Structure 1
Amino acid sequence: MKKILGITVLAAFIGGAAAVGGYKLFERNQIGGTISEKQDLYFANNPLKISSAGTADFTQAAAAVAPGVVHIKTTYAAKGGQGGGSSPFEMFDDFFGGRGRQQQRQPRAASGSGVIISQDGYIVTNNHVVENADKVEVILTDRRKVEAKVIGRDPNTDLALIKVNATNLPVVKMGNSDNVQVGEWVLAVGYPLDLNTTVTAGIVSAKARSIGIIGREQQQEQLENLSEEEVQQFNRTGKLPASAMNSSIESFIQTDAAINPGNSGGALVNANGELIGINSAIASQSGYNQGYGFAIPVNLARKIVDDFMKYGSVKRGYIGVSFAPLGGDYNNKDVKTTETTGLYISDVVPNGAAAAAGIKAGDIIKKVDGVTVFDSPDLQEKIGRLNPGDKVKLTVLREGSLKDYAITLKGESSVGVVAANTAKAVEVSKLGATFVPATAAQKTKFGINSGVVVSSVVTGKAFDNIGVEKGLIITKVNGVPVNSVADVQKALPQTRNNMIYMSGVSAQGTFNFSFPAQ
Structure 2
Amino acid sequence: MRAPAPLIVSVGMLIVGITLGAGIVSFPSHRSAEAQPLDGITTERVYRELSTESSPLQEGSLQLAKISAVTTPSVVHIQCERRLQGRSREEETGSGVILTSSKASGFFVVTNCHVVDKTPLDSISIHLSDGRVIQPDKVWTDAESDLAVLKITATNLIAAKWGDSRKIEIGHMVLAMGSPFGLSRSVTFGIISAKGRGKLQLGKSEVINQDFLQTDAAINPGNSGGPLIDLQGRVIGINTAIASRSGHNEGIGFSIPSLLAQRIMDQLLEHGVVPRAWIGVKLDENFEAKAAMKLRLERLQGARVNEVFENSPASRAGLQFGDVVLNFDGVDVHDHDHLINLVSLSPIGKQIHMSVWRAQKKVSMTIMLADRSDLRKTSEAPANPLRGGPVRPMGLIVHPLDEDLAKQLGYEPTTRGLLVLKMDRECPLSGNLKLYDVLEQVGRSPVRSLEDLTRALAENDEMESLVLKIQRDPQASTTAQLVIWQRDR
Which TM-score applies when normalising by structure 1? 0.56
Whole-Å Cα distance in 2 between the matches of residues 404 and 166 of structure 1? 53
The Cα of 1:373 is off from its aligned counterpart by: 2.0
Q: What is aligned with 2:233? A: 273
Q: Secondary structure at the match of 2:249?
A: coil
Query: What letter matches 1:64 in structure 2?
Result: V
Query: Are the structure 2 counterparts of residues 409 and 292 from structure 1 closer, same or farther at C-alpha, using a change threshold of 3 Å?
Result: same
Query: Is residue 2:131 matched to residue 1:131?
Result: no
Whole-Å Cα distance in 2 between the matches of residues 294 and 370 of structure 1? 27
Asked if the contact 1:151–1:312 (Cα under 8 Å) also holds between the matched residues in 2, the reply is: no
Query: Is residue 2:69 matched to residue 1:63?
Result: yes
Query: Are the structure 2 counterparts of residues 54 and 327 from structure 1 closer, same or farther at C-alpha, using a change threshold of 3 Å?
Result: farther
Query: What letter matches 1:68 in structure 2?
Result: S
Asked if the contact 1:205–1:256 (Cα under 8 Å) also holds between the matched residues in 2, the reply is: yes
The Cα of 1:260 is off from its aligned counterpart by: 0.2
Q: What is aligned with 1:370? A: 330
Query: What letter matches 1:116 in structure 2?
Result: I
Asked if the contact 1:351–1:414 (Cα under 8 Å) also holds between the matched residues in 2, the reply is: no
Query: What letter matches 1:138 in structure 2?
Result: I
Whole-Å Cα distance in 2 between the matches of residues 366 and 110 of structure 1? 42
Q: What is aligned with 1:109? A: 91
The Cα of 1:338 is off from its aligned counterpart by: 4.8
Query: Are the structure 2 counterparts of residues 346 and 402 from structure 1 closer, same or farther at C-alpha, using a change threshold of 3 Å?
Result: same
Q: Give deviations 1:179-235, integer Å, cap 9, x for gaps.
A: 1111100110111100021111100011110142249643xxxxxxxxxxxxxxxxx
Q: What is aligned with 1:12? A: none
Asked if the contact 2:295–2:359 (Cα under 8 Å) also holds between the matched residues in 1, the reply is: no
Q: What is aligned with 1:13? A: none
Whole-Å Cα distance in 1 between the matches of residues 204 and 277 of structure 2? 21
Whole-Å Cα distance in 1 between the matches of residues 203 and 280 of structure 2? 17
The Cα of 1:107 is off from its aligned counterpart by: 4.8
Asked if the contact 2:171–2:193 (Cα under 8 Å) also holds between the matched residues in 1, the reply is: yes
Q: What is aligned with 2:393? A: none
Alignment of 1:201-280 (within 5 A): 201-214=189-202, 217-218=205-206, 248-280=208-240
Query: What letter matches 1:406 in structure 2?
Result: T
* Count of residue pairs brought into register by the alignment: 316
Q: Secondary structure at the match of 2:68?
A: helix
Max Rg structure: 2
Q: What is aligned with 2:275? A: 315
Q: Which runs of 5+ in 1 are unaligned?
A: 1-51, 81-104, 219-246, 421-518
Query: Are the structure 2 counterparts of residues 54 and 165 from structure 1 closer, same or farther at C-alpha, using a change threshold of 3 Å?
Result: same
Q: What is aligned with 2:369? A: 409
Query: Are the structure 2 counterparts of residues 326 and 404 from structure 1 closer, same or farther at C-alpha, using a change threshold of 3 Å?
Result: farther
The Cα of 1:322 is off from its aligned counterpart by: 1.0
Whole-Å Cα distance in 2 between the matches of residues 215 and 314 of structure 1? 22
Q: Secondary structure at the match of 2:370?
A: coil
Query: What letter matches 1:201 in structure 2?
Result: F
The Cα of 1:368 is off from its aligned counterpart by: 2.4
Whole-Å Cα distance in 2 between the matches of residues 391 and 275 of structure 1? 32
Asked if the contact 1:72–1:113 (Cα under 8 Å) also holds between the matched residues in 2, the reply is: yes
Q: What is aligned with 2:427? A: none
Query: Are the structure 2 counterparts of residues 196 and 155 from structure 1 closer, same or farther at C-alpha, using a change threshold of 3 Å?
Result: same
Query: What letter matches 1:108 in structure 2?
Result: E
Whole-Å Cα distance in 1 between the matches of residues 281 and 202 of structure 2? 19
Which TM-score applies when normalising by structure 2? 0.59
> In angstroms, what is the RMSD of aligned CA positions?
3.0
The Cα of 1:381 is off from its aligned counterpart by: 2.5
Query: Are the structure 2 counterparts of residues 160 and 106 from structure 1 closer, same or farther at C-alpha, using a change threshold of 3 Å?
Result: farther
The Cα of 1:377 is off from its aligned counterpart by: 2.8
Query: Are the structure 2 counterparts of residues 150 and 55 from structure 1 closer, same or farther at C-alpha, using a change threshold of 3 Å?
Result: same
Q: Secondary structure at the match of 2:315?
A: helix
Whole-Å Cα distance in 1 between the matches of residues 88 and 309 of structure 2? 38
The Cα of 1:289 is off from its aligned counterpart by: 0.2
Q: Give deviations 1:333-375, integer Å, cap 9, x for gaps.
A: 9x97354322110111222222232222221111223332222
Query: Is residue 2:319 matched to residue 1:337?
Result: no
Q: Give deviations 1:43-99, integer Å, cap 9, x for gaps.
A: xxxxxxxxx99946312221121111111110111436xxxxxxxxxxxxxxxxxxx
Asked if the contact 2:83–2:90 (Cα under 8 Å) also holds between the matched residues in 1, the reply is: yes
Q: What is aligned with 2:348? A: 388
Whole-Å Cα distance in 2 between the matches of residues 355 and 116 of structure 1? 43
Asked if the contact 1:320–1:414 (Cα under 8 Å) also holds between the matched residues in 2, the reply is: no
Q: What is aligned with 2:10? A: none
The Cα of 1:301 is off from its aligned counterpart by: 1.1
Aligned match for 1:77, one of 72, 83, 94:
83
Q: Whose relative contact order is higher, 1 or 2, with alpha carbons under 8 Å and at least 6 apart?
A: 1
Query: Is residue 2:140 matched to residue 1:190?
Result: no
Q: Give deviations 1:28-52, integer Å, cap 9, x for gaps.
A: xxxxxxxxxxxxxxxxxxxxxxxx9
Asked if the contact 2:296–2:360 (Cα under 8 Å) also holds between the matched residues in 1, the reply is: no
Q: What is aligned with 1:285? A: 245
Q: Secondary structure at the match of 1:65?
A: helix
Whole-Å Cα distance in 2 between the matches of residues 338 and 106 of structure 1? 58
Q: Secondary structure at the match of 2:225?
A: coil
Asked if the contact 1:327–1:341 (Cα under 8 Å) also holds between the matched residues in 2, the reply is: no
Q: Secondary structure at the match of 1:302?
A: helix
The Cα of 1:391 is off from its aligned counterpart by: 3.8
Aligned match for 1:200, one of 181, 188, 193:
188
Query: What letter matches 2:64 in structure 1?
Result: F
Asked if the contact 2:236–2:258 (Cα under 8 Å) also holds between the matched residues in 1, the reply is: yes
Asked if the contact 2:309–2:378 (Cα under 8 Å) also holds between the matched residues in 1, the reply is: no
Q: Give deviations 1:157-189, integer Å, cap 9, x for gaps.
A: 101111112254211111111111111001101
Q: What is aligned with 1:174? A: 162
Asked if the contact 2:309–2:379 (Cα under 8 Å) also holds between the matched residues in 1, the reply is: no
Whole-Å Cα distance in 2 between the matches of residues 385 and 53 of structure 1? 43
The Cα of 1:256 is off from its aligned counterpart by: 0.3
Query: Are the structure 2 counterparts of residues 78 and 391 from structure 1 closer, same or farther at C-alpha, using a change threshold of 3 Å?
Result: same
Query: Is residue 2:317 matched to residue 1:357?
Result: yes
